[in-house]
Structure 1
């Protein structure tokens, strides 16, 4: 992995270096597919330039990929000099993957095509998941999405499951019994899902999966290193360094929910955590306390009467808490950018970004460089979308690290 202490620089164009050796055919094919995924349609000459492979090798590879149905030729493009070029692009019907988000407030299933476009979506909501109901539902939706592809069902390469490491965490906050909490915390959710389906299943922490979606299909195209924050029922995050997802020793890097908001009390009292101040759960509780529908936290009603005043009070608290988290992250990592997204309406996200920027401007930055703040592009479906990208990466990306995009 590249040295995280190297100075940040503007991301270069993708240059995944290939090999002309016969034994590296699969790697070279993946390299070409990754170039098309990042840059869009390209003629063979540009593919050769970007990958470092010879024109002859590119010709052989693209012929194989076209025969396998993974790429398609597009209409000829006439240039000012020379013969018209024929751009090549990923074939959307070349492969499919299923993404599953299991959250504390609902579950979501997405079917995406080879171009990472959502073809179908299903979602359910609940107060808290019941394992006896949810586990069969997960398998049923996987099979329904796969079988719905008809003759293309064989091109489904797997499912990616995105869920909190400890779904029963913070059970007192959620009003759950210890037995309910222990059931989920002791469960190997991925193993339970694998036992119910013949579809290969990958797993990632929910906000890590959301970070993957942003890295591959969002701000990651322009930003090389960034702290990622996802405001869901509970807030969480991820970490991207030099265009790689950095997961940490226990897969928990960017687990911002647990960040303490102040030093321990003088009598050993535990300080509040970010989860208590910058989560949509907190907005839910504020709305419910006013006799309003708590689920308005997740849709356009949040900024409309009679919800707006309560939402504004939450925004003031949440933006200050996020600013504290960003300053803390900057002191540790010195990242140039921060991306914030969440399971909320786009207007509410924009309001949160605006107030967080104002809060950041009021922080003490002595000894630090203030990072740039960006809104995420993946939106509320980021976790499920990132989950679906996991099997696509496993089958078609050129490297063993997660989503290498620059070399």
Structure 2
């Protein structure tokens, strides 16, 4: 007969996690309201809340006035009970932060990406994690989960990286497992544009929108897709890699194979090339080109790029039907460009897409990393411990 002596303990753990979830979702909240939401008796609720306070998960946040004049103590999660580590790794810089349970950043570091790539990136990220812990005074054991955005595709099953053109050596590593071993806590890696889309969903223009796309346009072009409230990754983690769309250039031209037809047409290198081919001043950066307000050649280039982007968005809309397009990146954040994109969209579809610029700027990816790490932490907190064992024990008890 199966030993079920731990069933009571498991039940207690399940109940505690149910209460903790209710506090996370409804704080500030009183014990009476928690009892009503969970169906537990007031006595049981008092015991569980006391245990959660003693363990440091809850703190008193104030009092609420009762219906008959009696006040009730309200509770919320203790923000400093646990922390998450969020990182946005780009081709030129690494932006990392520690955040508490409320999502508040308690410390951050920005530094150039180690140009040697590969294992040096693992060591760099680990060193930054250690530095943030020292800087903030957070206990090492309090950091529970980390999430890292990488400019490449992450295979959803084997977790290996592919399509990482801007950082050498990452496709040859089991990056996620190696960093987890080095840091001692769970690490999740994700495509950087997907991270930015997650950031928009959490704090940006994607809040309260179930279906939208985040389009990052700069040196290259990428897209994060939020469909029915969830990030779409695809079979190989490459959903949203729109640089290869057969738009703007000949997809059969071998010169476009590396960057992709669309990126070859509207990436920052292509924008400068268009301008100089028309006789524009050589050597300008894309930013300088956009700032030439009285230059008719610059205006023509911006309009041509906007037309290509609008064409791509029509194709994207036919597949994923987003409610909104949120633009980011050094080029995508230019209001002059988005204005012309909106103009061209109105000319080629009966119901134009709503287009806007990210309010988060370059921090969208970092905020997305924090959001994903927090989601995973909460999943871990609310997982039912011993779910399988408890189910088997209950079945054996009934049949014994």
TM-score, normalising length: structure 1: 0.70
Q: Does the residue aligned with 1:250 lie in a helix, a strand or coil?
A: coil
Seen in structure 2, the aligned counterparts of structure 1 residues 68 and 349 have a Cα distance that, compared at 3 Å, is farther
Match of 1:227 in 2: 213
> How far 1:204 sits from its partner (Å)?
1.2
Q: Does the residue aligned with 2:63 lie in a helix, a strand or coil?
A: coil
* CA–CA separation in structure 1 for the residues paired with 2:378 and 2:215: 27
> Of the candidates 58, 62, 72, which is equivalent to residue 75 of structure 1?
62
Q: Does the residue aligned with 1:122 lie in a helix, a strand or coil?
A: strand
> Of the candidates 125, 141, 154, which is equivalent to residue 154 of structure 1?
141
Aligned pairs for 1:4-403 within 5 A: 22=12, 24-25=14-15, 27-29=17-19, 31-32=21-22, 34-36=24-26, 41-42=28-29, 56=42, 62-77=49-64, 82-84=69-71, 86-125=73-112, 130-131=117-118, 133-150=120-137, 152-165=139-152, 169=163, 183-261=169-247, 273-279=261-267, 290-292=282-284, 294=285, 297=287, 304=291, 315-335=302-322, 337-344=323-330, 348-365=333-350, 369-397=351-379
User: Cα RMSD over matched residues?
Assistant: 4.2
Match of 1:403 in 2: none
1:105 touches 1:129 (CA, 8 Å); kept in 2? Answer: no
Deviation sequence 1:211-252 (CA, Å, 0-9, x none): 222223334431122223233543222222222223222222
TM-score, normalising length: structure 2: 0.71
Deviation sequence 1:242-279 (CA, Å, 0-9, x none): 22223222222222233221585688986853333454
Deviation sequence 1:31-66 (CA, Å, 0-9, x none): 325515xxx6455677677x6655747666554444
Structure 1: 5+ residue runs without aligned partners? Answer: 1-20, 175-179, 401-407
Deviation sequence 1:151-197 (CA, Å, 0-9, x none): 544321132111023688485xx7xxxxx85x343333324433543
> How far 1:81 sits from its partner (Å)?
7.5
Seen in structure 2, the aligned counterparts of structure 1 residues 79 and 351 have a Cα distance that, compared at 3 Å, is farther
Structure 2: 5+ residue runs without aligned partners? Answer: 1-10, 154-160, 384-400
* CA–CA separation in structure 1 for the residues paired with 2:296 and 2:179: 42
2:60 touches 2:76 (CA, 8 Å); kept in 1? Answer: yes
Seen in structure 2, the aligned counterparts of structure 1 residues 287 and 267 have a Cα distance that, compared at 3 Å, is closer
Question: How many residues end up aligned between the 2 structures?
Answer: 359
Seen in structure 2, the aligned counterparts of structure 1 residues 198 and 311 have a Cα distance that, compared at 3 Å, is farther
Which structure dedicates a bigger proportion of its chain to strand?
2
Seen in structure 2, the aligned counterparts of structure 1 residues 45 and 110 have a Cα distance that, compared at 3 Å, is same
Please tell me whether Structure 1 or Structure 2 has the larger radius of gyration of its CA atoms.
Answer: 2
* CA–CA separation in structure 2 for the residues paired with 1:189 and 1:350: 37
1:279 touches 1:318 (CA, 8 Å); kept in 2? Answer: no
Seen in structure 2, the aligned counterparts of structure 1 residues 399 and 87 have a Cα distance that, compared at 3 Å, is closer
